[in-house]
Structure 1
Amino acid sequence: MSDSSTAAEQTYRVVRNDEEQFSIWWAGRALPDGWYPEGTEGSRDECLARIAEVWTDMRPLSLRRRMEEATAG
């Protein structure tokens, strides 16, 4: 079995951190500290499509908040 066929068969999950940044991680493996499951599992392409759908603002949450405060103040 080649590496590409193994990767195609691998199940991933969409994960998110406290800064509302997204990534994919192998399903069944422990998540790194600070990352939480978003709820989507599937192929790599399915997970990346989900991220493209939900992660529309690439700025970290802390930066978005600071920018909103600066605009409001």
Structure 2
Amino acid sequence: MSQDYVNPFDDEQYRFHVLANARGQYSLWPEFADVPPGWQHRFGPAARAECVDYVERHWQAINPFARTAGGNA
């Protein structure tokens, strides 16, 4: 594999969407890829850095265990 390979989910040259699922988790998703089932569009398309900024401002409970059954972490 080439050392120049960049994962398209990390590649700054692409534009991204911010997606959210029913658990309130967010994901950056490349504009060229279909939105997976269970995820909803929240922001974008925009530059990756803008999407990261959006997530940092809107994701209140970034801890993946914050929304478990019963609210216990």
Q: Report the TM-score, using the length of structure 1 for normalisation.
A: 0.68
For the residue of structure 2 that corresponds to 1:9, the secondary structure is coil
Aligned residues: 65
- Compare CA radii of gyration and give the structure with the larger one: 1
- Which has the higher mean CA deviation after the structures are superposed, 23-32 or 54-63? 54-63
- Cα distance, 1:59 vs. partner? 4.4
Q: Does residue 28 of structure 1 match 2:32?
A: yes
User: Which structure ranks higher in relative contact order (CA pairs < 8 Å, sequence separation ≥ 6)?
Assistant: 1
2:19·2:39 contact (CA, 8 Å) conserved in 1? yes
CA-atom RMSD in angstroms: 2.7
- Specify every segment of 5 or more residues in structure 2 that has no aligned partner in the other structure, as ranges: none
Partner residue in 2 for 1:37: 41
Task: Choose which of 51, 54, 68 in structure 1 pairs with 2:55.
Answer: 51
Bigger helix fraction: 1
1:40·1:50 contact (CA, 8 Å) conserved in 2? no
Amino acid at match of 1:34: G
- Specify every segment of 5 or more residues in structure 1 that has no aligned partner in the other structure, as ranges: none
For the residue of structure 1 that corresponds to 2:36, the secondary structure is coil
